[in-house]
Amino acid sequence: MKDWTRRRFFLASLASGLVAGVSRLMGTSEAKAAQGPVEAGVVSQGQRPLMVSSANGLRALDRGMAILQQGGDPLDAVLATVNVVEDDPNDTSVGYGGLPNEDGAVELDASVMHGPTRRAGAVASLREIKNPSRVARLVMERTDHVLLVGAGALRFAEAHGFERQNLLTERARTAWLAWKESMSDRDSWGPGLDSPEWRERTAQLLPAGLSDAEREEWLAWIREVVLHPPTGTINCLAVDGRGNLAGTTTTSGLAWKIAGRVGDSPLIGAGLYVDNDVGAAGSTGRGEECIKVNGAHTVVEMMRQGKTPTEACLEALHRVARNYGNDRARLRRFHLLFYALNKDGVHGGASLWGAARGGRPRQYAVHDGTAARLVDCAALLEGAEA
């Protein structure tokens, strides 16, 4: 029967018997961050110093803010924040532990911009180095270029003393194998059509020693990332007490991507843009859609024309929706968020959809010098992603 492809059978089998809440399904620190303190509907007055990040930066913003409060550089502040997330194996969208490409290789993208010196640096498709944002900074500071990719970026990182390491954790490798096997209607990976025990065969991919609850949690998460390949990412923006700005965006990109695929994060003007006269903006989510509207640059230009950060983010999202003729059915197939901060310390964020799958509101993190908190994003479209 046509519908009974091996892939569908795999997914149906994996789904059976699984009961898990949305945050357990996600298994990312973004989901964990979303459990933190929430302050909805804040209308921010300008305040400096101030930091903004995607929700998965919530727990790390203290580090960046401490640097700003000691009079440090805003680029040091944003990098101190995102390095925590890059080092965290439990954030499967960034750095070490990021979900790999279709070949099982973790490929990382990152960019930095420094407002006071009006410089930028970036790396793309960088393997085996867990902190691509730090390498991006070196591209900015130690070369006459802006973007290095692939093997050249790796050689450059090694020349500056970075050590190669395997970035593929057991959890990410297991999920990748499950994804490979889910494609089995087109190749020979995974048990044959005659196998009676699809779910059990997937469970056999898991490492020994997990408790029953852990096994169920792994299986639920694997099902989620196989069905809905994530585009996690962290973006972080900062303004210091004098109005100087900096930003960075770092990611492992779209899970199961074609080797060499580059998203918006390392592209100056797409996943990140900083203009020290105006403000800073960044993006997480479906990179291809951000690239097509040159998202972060658009947001900064809208702020230059007088829009608030939130209005500017919504304008960029409006252009994304326009690319699909505002067809909600097609737009529901991805998510995209913009974050913005102006020179006065007014912040904003907007999401294509108000809620993620399952109804969890889309949020971003803010640190105003007292504490980090989550704020609901404005939404271009009501409802949740599919």
User: Which DSSP category does 45 fall into?
Assistant: P
Q: Which stretch binds ligand GLY (CB under 6 A): 147-155, 170-178, 281-289, 369-377?
A: 281-289
Q: Closer to ligand GLY at the Cβ: 202 or 231?
A: 231
Yes or no: say if 13 and 219 are a contact pair by the CB < 8 Å rule.
no
Strands ordered across the beta sheet of 347-355: 272-275, 279-285, 336-342, 347-355, 378-384
Strands ordered across the beta sheet of 147-149: 147-149, 119-126, 108-114, 245-251, 234-239, 50-54, 363-367, 372-376
Whole-angstrom distance, CA of residue 22 vs CA of residue 348: 25
Q: Which of 64, 98, 285, 349 lies at the binding interface for ligand GLY (CB under 6 A)?
A: 285
361 binds ligand GLY (CB under 6 A): no
Report residue 219: phi and psi, to 5°.
-65, -40
Q: Provide the total of helices (H) and of strands (E) in the chain, helices listed first.
A: 14, 13
251's enclosing H/E stretch is: strand 245-251
Q: Closer to ligand GLY at the Cβ: 44 or 284?
A: 284
Q: Closer to ligand GLY at the Cβ: 110 or 380?
A: 110
Whole-angstrom distance, CA of residue 87 vs CA of residue 95: 6
Q: How far is the CB of 320 from ligand GLY (least distance, A)?
A: 13
Catalytic residue list = 233
Whole-angstrom distance, CA of residue 260 vs CA of residue 270: 18
Q: Which of 190, 230, 282, 287 lies at the binding interface for ligand GLY (CB under 6 A)?
A: 287
Q: How far is the CB of 314 from ligand GLY (least distance, A)?
A: 18
Q: Closer to ligand GLY at the Cβ: 288 or 344?
A: 288
CB atoms within 10 A of CB 143: 12
Residues 256-275 that bind ligand GLY (CB under 6 A): 263-265, 271
233 binds ligand GLY (CB under 6 A): yes
Q: How far is the CB of 180 from ligand GLY (least distance, A)?
A: 20
Q: Closer to ligand GLY at the Cβ: 133 or 184?
A: 133
Instruction: Report which residue type is found at 57.
Output: G
Q: Closer to ligand GLY at the Cβ: 94 or 312?
A: 94
Q: Which stretch binds ligand GLY (CB under 6 A): 31-39, 145-153, 170-178, 246-254?
A: 246-254
284 binds ligand GLY (CB under 6 A): yes
57 binds ligand GLY (CB under 6 A): no
235 binds ligand GLY (CB under 6 A): no
Give the binding-site size for ligand GLY (rule: CB under 6 A): 13
The site map against ligand GLY for 193-232 (x = CB under 6 A) is --------------------------------------x-
- What are the C-alpha distances in Å from 358 to residues 286, 330, 354, 362? 18, 18, 11, 11
Q: Which of 75, 84, 99, 254 lies at the binding interface for ligand GLY (CB under 6 A)?
A: 254
Instruction: Report which residue type is found at 14.
Output: L
Q: Which stretch binds ligand GLY (CB under 6 A): 83-91, 130-138, 165-173, 249-257?
A: 249-257
Yes or no: say if 323 and 292 are a contact pair by the CB < 8 Å rule.
yes
Range 221-255 burial, b when 16+ CB lie within 10 A, else e: bbbbbbebebbbbbbbbbbbeebbbbbbbbbbbbb
Nearest Cα neighbor of 297 from 321, 273, 315, 262 is 273
User: Which DSSP category does 29 fall into?
Assistant: H
Q: Closer to ligand GLY at the Cβ: 58 or 255?
A: 255
251 binds ligand GLY (CB under 6 A): yes
Q: How far is the CB of 339 from ligand GLY (least distance, A)?
A: 12
Chain residues in the site for ligand GLY (CB under 6 A): 231, 233, 251, 253-254, 263-265, 271, 284-287
